[in-house]
Each structure stands twice: as structure tokens, then as C-alpha cells.
A and B are shown apart, each in its own frame.
Chain A
């Protein structure tokens, strides 16, 4: 960045030039003094060698007998070796995603977004991508249990029905407790149960609650609902603590909408502007154009101040918040194209937010209250009342329907204790989790990929779930259990859903018979009905709300404050046993497998907490709400001084071998009031202990050795003037003049006559969420190595997302640098094999195991590789991964890598991709298996390959469409159009394409390796480049 003079850094050790960091920075394989097994001598080696030769010859004499067992009665549409795709729905509490499941030989092996959905719009998230592995979780219950002992459904049903009747007979109270239920059919099934046992009440709660919004809207509009938001209509977005790109309400949908206004072209040089006011550095804050750090105690006041400015009431509730006035002014000038969202769960704050949006004319444009969403229906008051009732012995029966309040409710411990005295306790959880272990009857539900179901994520948007595999275990759909217990004659839930749809959605007037209608709905996975727009008028009491805020909020609070958040990868902890999510580096901290508090450098220094380059830190005792947990401390740039952040979702005690006992449970720290409060503003202490702890962070692995043209960025105003803004054009020296790096080459260059595969990654729309990383892992059977091996810098991810912090300060301006590191700008850059045309790895391989294809791919041939690792050492992008161990069929990696170490887990492996063995190198293949399938399909149909037929796993997973892959020889392909590739009639198949898009650049262009991956410059919507973030 010679032209912007920005300094980029991956973490504090790099910024501070920590000696240990510097020592390892230029090494591909760092010697961390890892103790290997050195107990073998040369003699042992020879013995082993002799033995293996003998074994090999013996093995050669007698071939192992392998069986091939065909179907007895082959279903018509199932052909071994050919995948089928089924539309279905991912449901996890209130989290929703319409998906397409890839089923190979009867086993779901991959989940992708459903493009037909108008809610999730074909997007996915890391959690959705990872959920396919949860299906094959060894911890799942194999069948029903009574008091921890295996039983059968007949006995269980008999006992439960007897007890229910007994309770009903004496007029006892029955409760069904669940997370948000999105499925209308499930609610109908529960209604059947309620009809039979009239004292039953259904209580919904959410681990991370948005009850405050429901309450606020009840008061503002008369209906307790959460409206739809449309970020694509907003020119100015202000987020006050709402991580709408990461975790808030419907992040997949919001990311998609947000990205539509972040795509820049020469023709369309406009983009939205995002202001973020928050304490933790969230994904949304990292993507914000202007980010201001506030304390949680100030949150309400910021909202109030925004209202004061916009309404012009002349009052002032808080001063000195950076960018607040500017944000208010811009909101005002963008009436009808503005949107304010707030993550607070406080009713009063949300009422003021509603008032602001009302002033801005957002209702009907960026907020659609006529189309309410159902993602969060949890009622904090009812849930708190339930715990109190259970403690008071007022409840006789509780059914926990796929929820885990003992773990994920602040009063979970109280609930657990009180359950012993409840006459009938049932859990339908599919694993013996914390709640299920505390109840008498475990009646496990199917995994969602084994279930029939439906969902109504939004008013008038419906979707269907269909089983993609026969149930693996003797589990039973929970809805069916409800119907059985209700004594229904017909308990088949499939029939139930079908009848529900027939009665509710099918109209014979459509001219379709019902079977056709049903088949179409199943095929599409979604059904959208016409929306009758309802009009809402804001009638909230702003004065009262402002007064309430004024009474609780503090403009300046000297004490430490705590923000409890949901992490992007692990979420609320329900998938904590999924190693894909545990090993996914957090988008911001880049920590894997670990739980920590995020703390600002200033506070850490005061407390004497130090993080070193290898993630070594100290454990701290975090006390809030009268509870203390012990977790590690991670110094996080961008954390508001005076605050600490801690994630929920960790500290599971009964979740399975992968996720057990990682960190501590932060739910008990949440304070319980009218609504659950995730911001603790008083009574928070952090006490340093002398116990050291190492966090497995990937952020400083694989650095660039001081090369700087990796990130190229600018601001919108510059881009509008010159689309080449931010671009850097390195030159190399010929004997007489400076020339472009591509102009001089030792190599003749390739000619790709058929296809020329390339990829473009838009740094502007990449939010850094990590869905692509998980998708890549699942598609390509990438091994998960576990915490210790990540610490040893041996993670295997083919695709990583580099997160850079940047500061505008000059390298000499130490003070400026320190300031920037407090609240840095963030850039995310997905980094994968660049498929260089002049690939440095290819020339150094002594056995030609990595070679170039005639389609532009850099191919890696595992069976040829002898593991010299020369290629990795010679890779300028640090994207090659070495198999230090045999990660499959190795009990040592059972915990981290069940997909390759248990019979159950192995079912998820992609049969088209080799499972690599110890001692070979691997890397991104551009999903060559998908390229080959696409080509074969075209050839079978005797036609040319069309654009869009070959989609890489990362591209398919990318919700915002930041990754575009395709054939650069095809002038009609999306990538050709995006990069504006100009055809050269002289050399139409040459690698030296003329790229017309001024934003497109190749990373490290100066070294002349000519990658086939292009990045589009990051353009921030800032007024000036040098402006404090």
C-alpha cells in the first residue's frame, strides 16, 4: 500500500514486532519444539522396513476379498455413484435455512442453499454447512431411555400415557418447553396434545432472546411480532450492537441483502454505508464503514441521542460518541432509505429504535412489519415463570421439546434441581444433553435430515423438510410422540404434515391435483403465498421509554462491563459437538477450539494480562451477576475499553467427546429481568490468575513475509473519481526499463484451449463469516486436527480467511499506531490455492506430484507425493497443507476428527475425493471433482458446458456471492463478465488475459506467478481515506 501508506497486521504480536513472532514469521514449517516420538533408532527403521517389505510381498500373494453387495430391489431413482438432491429445511430452534441436501448412495453428504427460497435466498452459514456432520454424531441416542436405561417405544409410551392421564385426572399442570417452533404442523401436533390434556401450556424460549423486540413492538404497534428487515433497500444503516451479519435474527438473509448494496461496478458507483456502535468487535462491526466503540451502559443513550437529533427535540443524552452526529445527519437525509437496528433486548431501547425508524420512514421500505418473521418467538417472562413454578412444585409434567434449558437458560441450574420433584419429565432431545440427563424419559427425536417437517420462517413463506436418509437409530419424530401421547388414531407425522398442507394451502381451484401440488412443494422445498400487506402505525410511548433509558443507562461508568454474545461459528452451543464448528476459526479472533473473554489492550495491560505470539495467555476469573467462571483472556483490538466480551455456547458438560468441557458456560451470567439481559453493566470483575493457558489461534500462521500488495483498498469517494483507486501496479526491472511483472517470464506460458478455470473474490462483499471454510471441509474430506495440532500450526483448512487489521498511521507514528490498534479497520481475505500459471510449487517437486493441467488447474497428486514439502516452502501464498499424521482410522484423532475415525462419522465422507494419508501434501483443487462431473454431464448430453454448471463448494456456500468461479475462456460466463475479460483475437487461449475490471488484482503480482484467482479491491464507504475508524 505504498499509495495509501496503510499498515496491515494480523494480530497484536505482528504490530508490536514480538520477537517470537518475528522468529517464526518467515517459516512455513515452524519448529515449535514439538516433542515427537524419538524413541526409534536406525535399527528399528531397518527392522520396520524389512517387515513392511515382507508384509507387502505376503499381501501380494493373497488379494483381500472384497464384497460388492447390490440392492435387492433397487429404487428407480437411486443409482449407486450418482448423487440425488433433495430440497429440505434446516431447523435449529429458530434458526432457519432452506437447503438442498446432496445424497450419495443413501447418505446425506453435503448441504447447500436453496436458490428458490425467498427468505434465505440460496445462502447458508457455517452452522448450516456443518449440520450434516451432526447427523452422524456418535453421541446421539440410539433409542428411548427410561431413567438412563435403554428401553423401547412401547414401554415408554405406555408409562408416559399412564402418567399423563394420572396428572390430567387430578388437574395437574403440564408444560411443553421448546425453543422457537417455526413449524405450523408441529404447532398443530402440539395443539392436539393440548386438546387431550387441557392443562398443557406450550412455552417457547430462546437461548439468545429477542423478547425485547417482541415486547417493544407489542407496545409500538399492538402486535408482538418481529418485522422483516430489508437491508437491500437501505442506503444508510446504523447498527447499535446488532450483529446482523453474524448472529442477529436472520443473518443469512441479512448478509445477502446487505451485499447487494456493497457490489461496486464502474457503471454503478454507489454503495450503502454502515455505521456500527458496539462494544465487542463483531462481524458487523468488522464490516462497518464507521465503527465506534461504546460501552453497553451507553447503548440506550446512543439510541436516545440518535432520537433526540432526528426528532430535533433539542435534548441531549450523551456526548462524545464518535460518528454519532454524522450518522444521524445521514439518516435524516436518506429518509425512506435508512435503517436503524439494535441488538439490545431491552424493551425501552427497542421502542426508541422503533420511534427512530418511524421518523425515518423506514416502515414500509426497509422494515416490513406486514411480513413478520418467526425466528424468535421466545417469551422470557413465561420461561422465568416456568422455572419458578417448577421450583414451587406447581408443575406436574414437563416435556422438553428439543431444547436444553438446563444448559442454555440463566436459571438452568435451578431448573435442574427442581426437575427431581416433577412427577413426569420428558426430553425429546436427540442426545443425552444436560437437560435430557436430568429427566426421567428420553424420547429422542430424529435429526432434521431424517425428519418430515415444515416451517413458516416469515408470514406467508413456507418450506418443507423431507428425510434424506432412513433414520439411523431407533429414534422417533417428536411430533409423532406428541400425537401418540395425545392418543391420536393416525400418528404418522408425514401424513399429518401432508394433511395440514392439503387443508391449508391446497386449493382444487388451481387445477392441479393434490399429489402434483405436494410433489411440486417437495421438489421446490418452499411455497410462497401472496402477501396481504397489513399497515402498522407507530403508537409507542417514546417519552416513557426515554425516561426508562435515562434511569438505567450511564453515560460514563467507571466499572468493567460485560457483553455476552453468540459466536458466529458455534452459535448458541447446540452444535457444540460438531468439530467442523469447533475448528472453524472465529472470524475475528481466529481462535479455534477455545473459549475466552475478549478484552481491550488497555484493560489487559492494567490487569497484567499478556498474550504472546503463540496464543499463550492467562486464565481469568470473570464474575458477573454473582457467578464466576474461569476462562482465558484474549486481547482483542476493537474491544471497547472498560468492557469484556464472552461467548455463550461453550462449557457444555454433556454433549459428546468433541465439545465437552471446552471453556465455561456463560449463560448463568445473563441477568434475568422482564427480559433476559445480555449486557451486564455493574458488578463485573475480571481477576487475573497465574494459571497460564494457550489459545489455538490461526491468525498469525502463514504470513506474507513483509510483502504488502496483498490487500488493495480504497474509499468510495476515491473510487468514484477513479475506479483504479487503491490499486497498486508493481513493476519489475528489465535491463533498460521498468516493466509489468507479467511481461517477463522464463516460461513459455500455457494455452488453455478448452476451459480456463478462474475465480474472482470480491473483498467488498466478503463478510468473513466462514461458511465457505466449512463447506470446503465437508466437500473435500479435509481432516480436522484438534486443538494441539492447531497450536502446532498444522491445521488442514484448504481455504482460510485471512483477517487483517489496518491502521492508517505511518510506521514511524507510534502514537497513531497505538490508537488505531484500539479500534482498527478490518479486512477479510479468503485465501486458497491461487492456481498459479507459473506455479512455484510445480517447479520444485522432485517427483512431479504437483503439475499443471490444460485447464489452468494446479493439480496435486497424492499418490505421487513423497512428502518433501518443498512445494509448501516455495508457495508464496502459504496454502499448502501437509498431513503430519494419519488423521483417519487413528484413535489419536478420534475426538477432533470423528468423520474419519468412526463408522458412523465416515458416512459423511465424499466418496469422490480421496482421504489423504500421512506424509502427503494437499491443497485446494478448485473442486476438480465438481469440474469433472460438470464436464461429464455435458459430454453425456453431447453439448457444450454452460456457465454455472460447475460451482465450487466455497462459491455455493457464499451467501453474499463474493466468490465467483467459472470458465474464463467463455465470454458469456459470469466471471468473464465480472472481470471484463477482453478477448485477444491474436492469442485467444493464452493465459495473459486482458482484465478490464479496474478493481481486479492478483495478490503478489510482483512475483510474476500469474495466479488464476483475482481479488476485487476493498472499497470502504468513507469520506476520506485517513480518518479514524
Chain B
């Protein structure tokens, strides 16, 4: 299988190389230096995580304690760089693992240096020694307003309480009126006063009163007006649009359960205008091995094979290809220019900010409004991510306000930022 390393990985590789250079002397023991561990974490997240977890068995074995299980650390070096060779050499442990995991072979990372592999091991070890964290997912709720400060249960209780008090008040007031009437009847009143006391407030007279008629007409007109306006505003707004896709791809499994980086598949998100729907060859990075899905068995994965022309029985490509026609969910009008790199790379905005809790979605839907008001609102509220970006230095210097520099302050509301 061919595996392409994304550009960030190569970059990270270089980074790791420079970071770990002075640790060469400790090559044979697993280092505990936090710098090495964090470098290892980056590598692990970028490359290993799609198949391995530290404490959990996934496509491949859980890696916790791997350094004690395997014959030697040198063995790991060889294995990571070329597992096929190790298996072919008849190495007992290698063959055992290979058989255990249904003869699915690990991807070879030929370019990895000893130091890099060691840094990954350092990370694995550090993770393994940590106490169990709470289950993933709960910490990644989506940002955004709409959450009330008081829990909903309290609100209901208060409301019910108030209604009860109001009803009680009504009963008490009726009782008081009746008591007063009785008291007045006992008195000797003039005819006019009697009429006043016993005047009939019938329902009909209330309905016919001009004030009531006006109120009703006003209410009906207002509600109709508001609905019409809301209706017109919602033309072309496709929030919660959740079309059926040709392949029942689950973000919940890939992004949620297996925590695959968004950028691993959506390669353009940090680079350019489009985040890019992944090409089938990216799917094949994992799915040459994983031929059975958690939810759908082989049915959906077979559709990828059909598209790219892969025969899983022989493990070869037939050359018969047919593109996958995904249904586009987010449709900005042509007159609006949106660039993912500006937001995800430069702005450092999380994907979930606009796309919602994508890691919980079985089927992706349009989470945000995608109206201009929604864009503008965010541009008004969001602080510019100026940290470590020399481009903004001058603007920051000139920003003479105690408040943080918002997107709005540097022209983020101008027409030609998005319309040209």
C-alpha cells in the first residue's frame, strides 16, 4: 500500500529532528523529556492515531506497554519502518501479531528515524502512565451561545409556581368580590348603585368592545407580519440540511470515536479556499486494511472500492474508476467568497465553530445558518488571532483601544472582503 505523508507531517518530522537532536545519547532508553513527549504526541496524532490508541485496541493493538512486550526497542525501529520485512524474516513475535490481527499489515513509515520512533514511544509511555481520563467527547462541546445560565428544570418550576400563585390570587379576588357584593346587598342602596353593583359583564360585551377588537386585530396582524418576514428571510437558508449521501460515511466514527484529525482527510482546510472532500485515495490509506465497518459491515466500504477500482480479494487495483458523487451540503451563493485557510489556518477557528459537533454526527448536516448576518455577527465578536503572526503586528500596534482587536476593527465588515 502506498501511503502519502501530508506536508505537515514532513514539517513535523523536521521539527522533531531538530528537537530530538541533543537526545541522541539516550537513544536506547525511552526518554521522559516533555519536549520529546510533545513531539511524539504530534507524530502519534498525525500518523498512528488512525489505527492505534494507547490503552484501547483499535485496528492495531493498544500501544501501552509495547516496549515491554516486544523483543527489543530496536525491533520496534525495524517493524515501524518495514513491517513486511520483519514478518517475512519469520520473526516469531511479528508473525504472532500478524496472525492475531487478521493478517492486516501495518503501514510502513520508511522515513522515520530512530529518534522519531523513540519520541512516539516516549509519548505512549507517558500516556500509559497517566490515570484514565473521562471519556472523550464530553470535553468537546461546540462553542456558541444559546445556553441559558439557569437550568431548564428550575425555569419550569418557577413558571408553575407563578401560575399556581396567579390562580390562587384569582380565587381569592373572586371570593373577596362575592363577600363585598353580599355585604352591599345587605345595605339599603339606591337603585342606581344597585345597578352598578349587579351590572352584567357578559362575555359578549367584552368581545364587542372596541379595545378588544383592536387588540385582536393587532395581534393577528403582528404575528402574520412576523411570520411572513421570517419566512422570507429563510428563503435559501438551508440550516439543518441533511441529505442522504451516496456512502453512509459516519463522522461520528471517524472523527468522534477514532479522533482522526479533520485535516487528515480535508487536506485543503489549512491551505486554501476549499477544505476539499477527500479523494478516495485518502480513504484507502486506512481502508485497504479496514475492510469491515463498525456500523455497516462491508457494504459501504465496498462502495469506496467500487469507486477507486480496488479488488479487496486480490488487494489490487483494477483501473475501473467511477467518481463518488457526494451531495453538497454547504452551498454559499457564488457572490460570496469564503476561504477556509483564512479562518482555520490564520484565524485558528475550530472546525466545529461553524460545522457544529461534527464528531457526533452520523450524517452531516448544515449546522450553521450561513447567512450574511451570521458571518457578520461572528466578525463582530471574534478577536483577531494575532498571536505569533507578524502580519498583524502593525495593526495591533495601531489598535488604540483597551478592548481586544476584533475582526470588525480591521475591516472585517467591508463588502470587498467577501464580495468581488
CA distance A939 to B411 in the complex (A): 15
- Contact of A73 with B341 in the complex, beta carbons under 8 Å: no
Q: Give the segment of B60-68, B139-147, B384-392 that binds chain A.
A: B384-392
Contact A862:B335 (CB < 8 A) given known A72-B279, A72-B280, A73-B279: yes
- Contact of A914 with B335 in the complex, beta carbons under 8 Å: yes
Contact A72:B273 (CB < 8 A) given known A65-B243, A859-B416, A939-B346: no
- Contact of A74 with B419 in the complex, beta carbons under 8 Å: no
Q: Give the segment of B83-91, B194-202, B326-334, B350-358 that binds chain A.
A: B326-334
Is B293 part of the binding interface, using a Cβ–Cβ cutoff of 8 Å? no
Is B271 part of the binding interface, using a Cβ–Cβ cutoff of 8 Å? yes
CA distance A547 to B251 in the complex (A): 89
Q: How far is the CB of A910 from chain B (nearest CB, A)?
A: 11
Tell me the total A-B contact number using a CB cutoff of 8 A: 161
Q: How far is the CB of B304 from chain A (nearest CB, A)?
A: 10
Q: How far is the CB of A550 from chain B (nearest CB, A)?
A: 63
Q: Give the segment of A37-45, A168-176, A784-792, A924-932 that binds chain B.
A: A924-932
- Contact of B341 with A940 in the complex, beta carbons under 8 Å: yes
Is B274 part of the binding interface, using a Cβ–Cβ cutoff of 8 Å? yes
- Name the residue on B nearest A66 (C-beta): B328
Which of A80, A943, A944 has the most C-beta atoms of chain B within 10 angstroms of its own C-beta? A80
Is A912 part of the binding interface, using a Cβ–Cβ cutoff of 8 Å? yes
Is B47 part of the binding interface, using a Cβ–Cβ cutoff of 8 Å? no
Is A512 part of the binding interface, using a Cβ–Cβ cutoff of 8 Å? no
CA distance A63 to B395 in the complex (A): 42
- Contact of A79 with B411 in the complex, beta carbons under 8 Å: no
Q: Of A65, A70, A864, which contacts B415 at CB under 8 A?
A: A864
Is A936 part of the binding interface, using a Cβ–Cβ cutoff of 8 Å? yes
CA distance A73 to B285 in the complex (A): 12
Is B403 part of the binding interface, using a Cβ–Cβ cutoff of 8 Å? no
- Contact of B271 with A82 in the complex, beta carbons under 8 Å: yes
- Contact of A936 with B339 in the complex, beta carbons under 8 Å: yes
Q: Of A70, A860, A944, which contacts B276 at CB under 8 A?
A: A70
- Residues from chain A with Cβ under 8 Å of B236 in the complex: 60
Is A743 part of the binding interface, using a Cβ–Cβ cutoff of 8 Å? no
CA distance A877 to B304 in the complex (A): 58
CA distance A67 to B420 in the complex (A): 24
- Contact of B281 with A939 in the complex, beta carbons under 8 Å: no
Is B234 part of the binding interface, using a Cβ–Cβ cutoff of 8 Å? yes
- Residues from chain A with Cβ under 8 Å of B392 in the complex: 939
CA distance A497 to B225 in the complex (A): 72
Contact A68:B279 (CB < 8 A) given known A80-B274, A940-B341, A940-B346: no
- Name the residue on A nearest B268 (C-beta): A79
- Name the residue on A nearest B347 (C-beta): A939
CA distance A70 to B245 in the complex (A): 14
- Contact of B420 with A928 in the complex, beta carbons under 8 Å: yes
Q: Of B231, B323, B335, B419, which contacts A72 at CB under 8 A?
A: B323
Contact A915:B334 (CB < 8 A) given known A60-B236, A942-B388: yes
Is A76 part of the binding interface, using a Cβ–Cβ cutoff of 8 Å? yes
Interface of chain B: mostly helix, strand, loop or mixed:
loop
CA distance A82 to B269 in the complex (A): 11
Q: Of B243, B271, B394, B415, which contacts A859 at CB under 8 A?
A: B415
- Residues from chain B with Cβ under 8 Å of A849 in the complex: 415
- Residues from chain A with Cβ under 8 Å of B276 in the complex: 70, 79-81
- Name the residue on A nearest B326 (C-beta): A68
Q: How far is the CB of B191 from chain A (nearest CB, A)?
A: 63
- Contact of B389 with A861 in the complex, beta carbons under 8 Å: no
- Residues from chain A with Cβ under 8 Å of B346 in the complex: 936, 939-940
Please encode chain B, from 90 to 107, with 1 for each CB lying within 8 Å of some chain A CB and 0 for all others.
000000000000000000
Q: How far is the CB of B63 from chain A (nearest CB, A)?
A: 30
- Contact of A72 with B321 in the complex, beta carbons under 8 Å: yes
CA distance A860 to B268 in the complex (A): 29
Is B307 part of the binding interface, using a Cβ–Cβ cutoff of 8 Å? yes
Is B289 part of the binding interface, using a Cβ–Cβ cutoff of 8 Å? no
- Contact of A942 with B389 in the complex, beta carbons under 8 Å: yes
- Contact of A939 with B389 in the complex, beta carbons under 8 Å: yes
CA distance A940 to B414 in the complex (A): 21
CA distance A813 to B417 in the complex (A): 54
Q: Give the segment of A24-32, A89-97, A278-286, A850-858 that binds chain B.
A: A850-858
- Contact of A70 with B279 in the complex, beta carbons under 8 Å: yes
- Name the residue on A nearest B417 (C-beta): A932
Is A529 part of the binding interface, using a Cβ–Cβ cutoff of 8 Å? no
- Contact of B328 with A853 in the complex, beta carbons under 8 Å: no
- Name the residue on B nearest A859 (C-beta): B416
CA distance A862 to B418 in the complex (A): 11
Is B4 part of the binding interface, using a Cβ–Cβ cutoff of 8 Å? yes
- Contact of B416 with A861 in the complex, beta carbons under 8 Å: yes
- Contact of A69 with B326 in the complex, beta carbons under 8 Å: yes
- Name the residue on A nearest B307 (C-beta): A72
Is A553 part of the binding interface, using a Cβ–Cβ cutoff of 8 Å? no
Is B169 part of the binding interface, using a Cβ–Cβ cutoff of 8 Å? no
- Contact of B339 with A851 in the complex, beta carbons under 8 Å: no
Please encode chain B, from 393 to 414, with 1 for each CB lying within 8 Å of some chain A CB and 0 for all others.
1110010000000000011001
- Name the residue on B nearest A63 (C-beta): B238
Is A54 part of the binding interface, using a Cβ–Cβ cutoff of 8 Å? no
- Contact of B414 with A942 in the complex, beta carbons under 8 Å: no
Q: Of B279, B325, B333, B339, which contacts A74 at CB under 8 A?
A: B279
- Contact of A81 with B272 in the complex, beta carbons under 8 Å: yes
Please encode chain B, from 9 to 46, with 1 for each CB lying within 8 Å of some chain A CB and 0 for all others.
00000000000000000000000000000000000000
- Contact of B391 with A938 in the complex, beta carbons under 8 Å: yes
- Contact of B280 with A68 in the complex, beta carbons under 8 Å: no
Is A994 part of the binding interface, using a Cβ–Cβ cutoff of 8 Å? no
Is B277 part of the binding interface, using a Cβ–Cβ cutoff of 8 Å? yes
- Contact of A66 with B331 in the complex, beta carbons under 8 Å: yes
- Contact of B341 with A936 in the complex, beta carbons under 8 Å: yes
Q: How far is the CB of B230 from chain A (nearest CB, A)?
A: 12
- Name the residue on A nearest B276 (C-beta): A80
- Name the residue on A nearest B414 (C-beta): A853
- Contact of B420 with A79 in the complex, beta carbons under 8 Å: no
- Residues from chain B with Cβ under 8 Å of A420 in the complex: none
Q: Of A74, A928, A943, which contacts B281 at CB under 8 A?
A: A74
- Contact of B234 with A79 in the complex, beta carbons under 8 Å: no
- Contact of A940 with B345 in the complex, beta carbons under 8 Å: yes
Please encode chain B, from 149 to 186, with 1 for each CB lying within 8 Å of some chain A CB and 0 for all others.
00000000000000000000000000000000000000
Q: Of A65, A854, A925, A940, which contacts B327 at CB under 8 A?
A: A65
Contact A943:B390 (CB < 8 A) given known A71-B279, A754-B395: yes
- Name the residue on B nearest A862 (C-beta): B335
- Contact of A60 with B234 in the complex, beta carbons under 8 Å: yes
Is B229 part of the binding interface, using a Cβ–Cβ cutoff of 8 Å? no
CA distance A862 to B272 in the complex (A): 24
Contact A925:B420 (CB < 8 A) given known A70-B278, A74-B279, A936-B346: yes
Is B235 part of the binding interface, using a Cβ–Cβ cutoff of 8 Å? yes
CA distance A857 to B419 in the complex (A): 13
- Residues from chain A with Cβ under 8 Å of B307 in the complex: 72
- Contact of A854 with B391 in the complex, beta carbons under 8 Å: no
Q: Of B238, B323, B331, B416, which contacts A925 at CB under 8 A?
A: B416
Is B342 part of the binding interface, using a Cβ–Cβ cutoff of 8 Å? yes
CA distance A59 to B276 in the complex (A): 28
- Residues from chain B with Cβ under 8 Å of A68 in the complex: 277, 325-328
CA distance A81 to B395 in the complex (A): 28
- Residues from chain B with Cβ under 8 Å of A57 in the complex: 231, 235
- Residues from chain B with Cβ under 8 Å of A862 in the complex: 335, 419
22 residue pairs from A and B, CB less than 8 Å apart: A68-B325, A68-B326, A68-B327, A69-B324, A69-B326, A70-B324, A70-B326, A74-B281, A79-B267, A81-B268, A82-B271, A861-B419, A862-B335, A863-B335, A864-B419, A914-B420, A925-B420, A932-B337, A938-B391, A939-B342, A940-B345, A943-B391
User: Footprint of B on A, CB under 8 Å?
Assistant: 56-57, 59-60, 63, 65-74, 76, 79-82, 753-754, 849, 851, 853-855, 857, 859-864, 912-915, 925, 928-929, 932, 935-936, 938-940, 942-945, 989
A70-B324, A80-B268, A82-B268 known; 8 new pairs, CB 8 Å cut-off, are A69-B323, A70-B276, A76-B4, A81-B272, A932-B420, A936-B346, A944-B391, A944-B394
Instruction: Pick the 4 closest A-B CB pairs, nearest first.
Output: A81-B273, A859-B416, A74-B279, A81-B274
